[in-house]
Amino acid sequence: MRILTVDARDFITKHETHAALRAVLGEENYWGSNLDALHDCLTMVFEPTTLTIKNWSSAARRLGDYANRLWHLFDDASEENPNLNIVIE
């Protein structure tokens, strides 16, 4: 099982959010810096993986509505992909 952690304090802009997630998920998981592509990447995780996102309140303050959209994307992707568990702290 892969255990991955990303710090949401690195989610300063949309671009930096996707760069931080891409760095944690690995370069082989390249996607365009948008929510649809991120969703595709997360639903194509083929080995059991837990992704923990720490300091979520920091992202929520900086990104506003985009953080809400990310939250829903994480929830949807983890429901669709039995190999993916996303923990938001």
Task: Please state the pTM of the whole predicted model.
Answer: 0.91
Listed by start position, the domains of the chain span 2-88
In the chain, count H helices and then E strands.
4, 3
CA distance 41 to 39: 5
- Per-residue DSSP letters for 48-81? -EEEEEE-HHHHHHHHTHHHHHHHHHHHHHHHH-
Q: How confident is the model at residue 32 (pLDDT cuts 50, 70, 90)?
A: confident
What mean pLDDT is predicted for residues 14-39? Answer: 86
Q: Which tokens go with 56?
A: 């979520």
CATH entry 1.10.357.10 includes domain 2-88? no
Q: What are phi and psi of 46, to 5 degrees?
A: -105, -5
pLDDT at 63 over 80: yes
Residue 31: the pLDDT is 72
